[in-house]
Structures are given as structure tokens and as C-alpha cells.
Structure 1
Amino acid sequence: MSHTWDPDRYLTYADERGRPFVELLARVGADRPATVVDLGCGPGNLTTLLADRWAGAHVVGLDASPEMIAKARELGGDVRFHVSDLRDWARSGPTDRGEVDVLVSNATLQWIPGHLDLLPALVGRLAPGGWLAFQVPGNFDEPSHTLRDELAAEAPYAEHTSGVAVPSSHDPAVYLDALARLGCTVDAWETTYLHLLTGPDPVFTWVSGTGARPTLQALPDDLRPAFEAEFKRRLAAAYPRHEYGVVLPFRRIFVVAQVRS
């Protein structure tokens, strides 16, 4: 079941969504890479940080969403943005000696079913000594996800939401093992952020731009308002408002791997 992305809704909490990218990038030890690729670049606001860090590199942002790429192209600058499915891109390159020096993927692989099987192809796109760095959410047992799943499985929504895309990921040790077996030196870790959100229904605003979006889009227009209202009610109970705002705990998984020179 297809869905589209809303760049403006996604950018509502741009600072909170961008922090893991910055902390991931800090662990990449590349000095003067010639080619840097951002897989799943979204609206491109973070891809520009790659161009800032490696000013002499050819930086490319790829995303399967035409809406996201259109937003990214509004940024201008030297970064090139293209519509492309990362699975097709990964498997279209060489398998022995790649040409990419730094390959970054931020909060994207969780949308690829069986993405562990894609790691050999991604590593295969890297030049000797190249770097693969990615982060994925690891919070899928939190109410922000479980409440959506529970509500979507109820009548009258279930017949419309069955089979929608849902994200998933693995623990850091799983990624470490998979990439070490491919001959990489691997640094893997996890961090739980405590995002302090403000505004009306802030957790709903957050998830409706990412993990819940396919479910919401799968619903017909006459059912979506009731679903959203009940989802907001359940989220508000799970994430109470304090005088300082609403706290959203968010676990993320980080992996940085370097291939042999």
C-alpha cells in the first residue's frame, strides 16, 4: 500500500530529528572524501551538513519520495538531489570495489523490510576505507507505536489498515555482528533522548509525520477524523503534559562501519 510524505509536517520538530544525525556524523572519521551519499535524505536540511563538513566532496541526496526531493531542491547550493529507491541504488553498483567514500542513512532503513539483507550491497558501494553510517529508531515497543497498532487493529479501521507499512529495526549488537562479518570495523551504540515537546497534541504531531503516516493515509476520509481523535486521546494519556511540556522518550540505534582499505 503506497503512501506519500509531507516535508512540512516532518520538519515540525526539525531540531529534535536532526540531533541524532549530528551525533552520528561526529563518529565518522573520513578526512577528505571525494563522494558522499545520503540515502533517504528527506527534505535535505541535514544533507547540507555533509556539504558543510566536506566542502570539497561531491554530495548527493537520494530519496524515494518526490515530495521530499522537491522540498530539498528548494535549498539550492551544490548538493544534488535525486528521486531514487535506496534498494535499487544499492544493488546497481559494483560488488567488489565501490566508488562512495561516505554513505549515510538517517532514519530510513527501518522502512525497508529485511534491511539486514541489504547491508552487503551497501558495503559493496563503498570504496576501500570507506564509511557506512546510519541510525534507526529503536522505540517500536513504546506507546507512540503500540497505541497506533492497537487502534488500527480495531473495527472499523482494521479492514483499511491491514498491510500498511510499519517501521522496524534491530538492536545494535545485531548490526555490529552483520557488518563485522562483512569485514568492517564497527562502532554501534544506542541513545534514548528525552524530547521535550510543546504545542497541542505534540506526540501526535510527531508520529503523524513519520511512523503513523502510512496508517493515517490508508484510512478513508470518513473514518480518519475519528481515528485521529481517539489516537490523540490515547497518546495524551500515555504522554501526560507537565508545566514544562510533554516528554517523549525516543531510543535510537547508531552504527558506524569502515571497510578495509
Structure 2
Amino acid sequence: MTTSSAEWQARQYSLFEAERTRPVRDLLNATQVASARSAVDLGCGPGNSTETLIAYTPEARVIGIDNSSDMIDAAKKRLPQVAFELADISAWQAQGPFDLILANAALQWLPDHETLFPALVAKLAQGGQLAVQMPDNLDEPAHRLMRDAAADGPWRDKLKGVERTERFRAERYYALLKPLCARVDVWRTTYHHPLQGGVDAIIEWFKGTALRPFLAKLDAQESAAFLDRYRDGLKTAYTVHDDGVVLLPFPRLFIVATR
């Protein structure tokens, strides 16, 4: 995962590892990954996606890339036999060719997809695959309420422009990639994650991802007040069931482009 804010915390991200890993499996199930001999995991995080990739590519040499030293340290402890590199995806210089480039919940943090995606395809071997999964949830209440909280408080100037807003629709990714690829598959899936702990569980989920750029710009007192305002909004938008579980709808966009 890649972001321009303060370093991500591997422990926080890993609180919901099972839920975050399921989309990786769904993505890899749509590839021809078993025959890969060289593979890279862009935005490898604490190594959960890399571990899944290795299980699907028993013969491949796998490399993991992330721009967070905290994540790279966690990944190295988890998978000491794998080569992990501290690097920004946008500045990644490896030429390849690679049989598989995996980017799970990473590329949404980077700008200029018109340039980035063709550059990644160019690093593929003939017949190689670019496998991408990106959250597509900016219209969900959990994200809208972050923007509302950011705009409605004494911190509004600090938080102006923090949340990512640039994104393409499926049709645009297809149009961008198809001239470069033999086949492009694009689909969207909405997961409904059951989180124990009510709306506080939603906050804990996003503390490991989308909330971090906001909280990185606030001091401790401001962060607490911001989260209180965000929590109040969540309580009106999400139902907490009798067993304490809240269902978090989470749409994700998947792309498998075969060169």
C-alpha cells in the first residue's frame, strides 16, 4: 500500500487481515498465476498479499515492494525467504519482464493512472498479467462522512484536499488497457464485511487505511474530536445488529490485463 501521508502502521492494518486478504484470493483466482516464474507484489503491506501470492505461484521468484518501512519490516518477519524492497511504486525502476504484477489495494493512492498503468503493462512478459484490485468505495457513507467531518470543524483548513478523489470507472480502464493487451477483464464486487464492535469497528478498519491521511495532519486532541464527529455520523448511517455486528459494504474494482 502506498500513501504520501505518514507511514502506515502494519499492526493496525492487520487487525482485519482475513477480510483484507479475501479480495487477493478472488483476484488471483482469475489469473493464470500458477504458471508464473516471476512475480511482484506492489504495495505488499505486511506480507499478507505476498503470502497468498506465493501459495498461488509455487515456482515463481516473488518480490514485494512497499514504501513503508514499518510494512516492509513486518513483511520480512513474516516471510524471511522473500526479497522485499522499500520503494515507491511510482518510482519503481525494475524493467522485468514479469509474468505477474499484483497490485492489491495499492494503486488507488497514486495519481496519473493514464501513465502508470501502461508503464506497468510494459514490464510484463508476453502473456504476462497485471492483476489489480482497488477499493471503489468513495461514495459509501463511511467515506462521505470522513469528508463531512473534515469540512465541518476547526481543522477544515488543515484537511482541505486530503482525501483522494481521482478515480476511473471500469470503462476507462478498459479503454486505457485494451490497446496494449490481448485481453482485459474488469469487474466490481461489493463485499459485506461483518465487523464485531459496532461503528467503532468501522473506525478501527479505516484507521489502517483511509483515515490515516486525515489523522496524520491533526494533533491528539483534534484527532479525538474528529473521530467523535465521524463516529456520530456513522451511528446514523449503519445498523448495529443485536449481536454487536455491523455490516460494512465495501465495493472493490478488479482488473486482470493480459499482455
TM-score where L is the length of structure 2: 0.93
Q: How many residues align?
A: 254
User: Aligned partner of 2:13: which letter?
Assistant: Y
Aligned-pair CA distance for 1:221: 2.4
Instruction: Check if 1:16 corresponds to 2:19.
Output: yes
Paired residues of 1:101 and 1:127 also in contact (CA < 8 A):
yes
How does 1:32-71 map onto structure 2 within 5 Å? 32-71=35-74
How does 1:1-261 map onto structure 2 within 5 Å? 2-89=5-92, 92-94=93-95, 98-166=96-164, 168-200=166-198, 201-244=200-243, 245-259=245-259
Paired residues of 1:138 and 1:171 also in contact (CA < 8 A):
no
Paired residues of 1:63 and 1:69 also in contact (CA < 8 A):
yes
Q: 1:19 to 1:31 in 2, by over 3 A?
A: closer
Structure 2 gaps, min length 5: none
User: Aligned partner of 2:182: which letter?
Assistant: C
Q: 1:49 to 1:249 in 2, by over 3 A?
A: same
Q: Relative to structure 2, which stretch is displaced further, 155-164 or 123-132?
A: 155-164
Paired residues of 1:42 and 1:69 also in contact (CA < 8 A):
yes
Aligned-pair CA distance for 1:168: 4.5
Aligned-pair CA distance for 1:93: 4.5
CA deviations 1:96-139 (Å, max 9, x no partner) are xx411100000011100222321111001111111100010111
Structure 1 gaps, min length 5: none
CA distance in 2, matches of 1:10, 1:168: 23
Paired residues of 2:34 and 2:56 also in contact (CA < 8 A):
no
CA distance in 2, matches of 1:165, 1:67: 22
User: Aligned partner of 1:21: which letter?
Assistant: V
User: Aligned partner of 1:251: which letter?
Assistant: P
User: Aligned partner of 2:65: which letter?
Assistant: L
Q: 1:109 to 1:59 in 2, by over 3 A?
A: same
CA distance in 2, matches of 1:223, 1:188: 40
User: Aligned partner of 2:211: which letter?
Assistant: A
Q: 1:198 to 1:168 in 2, by over 3 A?
A: farther
**What is the identity percentage for the equivalent residue pairs of Structure 1 and Structure 2?**
39
